[in-house]
A and B are shown apart, each in its own frame.
Chain A
Amino acid sequence: MADDERFDAIVVGAGPAGTAAAYTMAKAGLQVALLERGPQPGSKNVMGGILYNHYLEEIVGDAWKEAPLERPIIEERRWMMTPKAYIGFDYKNLRNREHPHSFSVLRARFDPWFAEQAEKAGAMVVPETVVERLIVRNGRVVGVGTGRGDDLHAEVVIVSEGIGLGAGLLEKTLINGKPLRRKLRRNEVAMAVKEIMQLDSGLIEERFNCESGEGCTIECFGDSTMGMSGFMFIYTNKDTLSVGGGALLSEFNATLRSPNDLMEHFKNHPSVKPLLRGAETVEYLAHLIPEGGYRGIPKVYGPGYLVCGDAAMLSNPVHREGSNLAMVSGKLAGETVIHAKETEDFSESRLREYKGKLDSSWIMADMKKYDKAVPLLEHNPQMLAKYPQILDGALDEFFRVDGTSKWEKQSKIFKMIRKEGGLKMAWDTVKAAWAMK
């Protein structure tokens, strides 16, 4: 790369957001560099992970069918856990066979494929390159300084570096004396851990009640996270399981628990342990997840730059969605730059078009809708600890055949719920339903 080479756009980070942006722009003939700090795209990237093919198709078209995905999700299970029980809701939807909408995915396999699509479209993919700083000249981002010691210049820099490691580019960069993003708070991020556990594909299908090649998710609340606000999961891959979960970083600090303790607590729950028997851990991973809601979103555009994906705090933890918000935000950013190029106007007011596109999309509608969901659980820990236990106690009484008359049992259940603060529980449930609906 010559020093005087100037790109239309430089994209920082080859995750779903950055790659979608690079793909969209390169396809339209723009000169795009996609920079990635890992030895190849995906080698630093982690998610649960369930990927929604609708959005992938929106970007790459029919090519999505060639993507290295694991299993289409046919069945969704949600378990509310107590130490000795779980109360479950299972939804097996056979329409998902004909029209799958979500797949389990392993990012170290998916991301290189996605970046390859961007490369085929004409983007220049540059791995092993850390972007250390944004270059600001006359109050405008004009390029990036890389760990290779060279500076690269562009009309627009798209920041899609994820949630960041240490102070991210947006925190480090000042324009008119102000950072482009404030430091994140401990209750705006979840600390998530995961293990990839190897298990024969036939055994996976038997244990999780799946047909050949099909998959299932189990997401667990309550005791699964030791009452912290978050959830744990098991996702079926081809011949591995993704087992993990997380909770707000603030709650790890408040309880002095460690992520690995949380992991072991979950793996040893009596209803999880048999599912994992004989599965060998072949990789251990951890990552932060943005959970700041709508209020936590930083300014997503400015002079010479746009922000996409996790770097823009775009995620919907209630519905475990993130990569789709990343991809679509990347696509919208890409379209904004294409439009700027067409009009030869890369001014901040032109780049504001990206904010308008985001605001009128489902992304911001969802971000607003679930804005209060995480704080609600954070401030009402009884919802994930005490209430499942009350329900568990009531169900134990209801189902146990032990010589007590049904009238007496119902009266016992009623008294128990009242004693435990049933009215407040009902009110809290209504509030939760409202926040999560």
Chain B
Amino acid sequence: MQLEPSLLALLVFSVLVLVLGLVLWAIKKPAGKAVTAMGIGLVITFLFYFAFVASGVYGKPGAESGYVLNILGVMVLIVGAFVAIYYIKKARTLQAES
């Protein structure tokens, strides 16, 4: 798989953000966790991108691919929201107990 320059630059940028976040976190700077969360988000996005390229769903009109990317979007919304709410509930319970 060969990346075009625009995407390669973006991938390098995403990895640099993640590394910067981890370094800031390690030296206990206030921005460390936020920048790390940002970097993880960017890198996870690239994982989705590579999976879509490998599966061949890119470049096809929605109807031709069975609207698979739109359906996946809805799944990310539902699963992401449930997982995040679960962790928020769990964290609140732990904070209340401590």
Asked if A and B are interacting partners, one says: no
